[in-house]
Amino acid sequence: MEEPAVLDVVPTEAEAELVVSLLRSAGVECAHRISSEAAGAFGQTGGMGPYEILVHGDDVETARDVLSAPPE
């Protein structure tokens, strides 16, 4: 299985959920996870961002197009 590509990093979980929802509605398989930048001492976090938006490597360009498209 290929490693997912990090499409973007957003500051909050709510924003990550919004981006993932938009991508999924356009047919792009994706997910989000807390960024390793948020890791605290001994790898512990409080669930506070930033969050990475993950897509398949082949879908990066399509996902960027979806996110940059003007709203309908």
Q: So what's the pLDDT on residue 3?
A: 85
Q: So what's the pLDDT on residue 47?
A: 60
Query: Which residue range(s) make up the domain with 15?
Result: 5-68
Edge-to-edge strands, sheet with 51-55: 5-10, 51-55, 30-34
Higher per-residue confidence, 38 vs 63? 63
- Per-residue pLDDT tens over the stretch 7-60: 999 999 999 999 999 999 999 999 999 998 755 544 555 567 799 999 999 999
> CA torsion angle for 36, 3, 27, 13 (degrees, to 10)?
-10
pTM reported for the whole predicted model: 0.81
Q: So what's the pLDDT on residue 26?
A: 96
The count of domains in the chain is 1
Residue 67 and residue 51: Cα distance in Å, rounded? 16
Q: Give the domain CATH number at 35.
A: 3.30.70.1530
Residue 28 dihedral angles phi and psi, to the nearest 5°: -95, 120
Q: So what's the pLDDT on residue 71?
A: 80
Residue 6 and residue 32: Cα distance in Å, rounded? 9
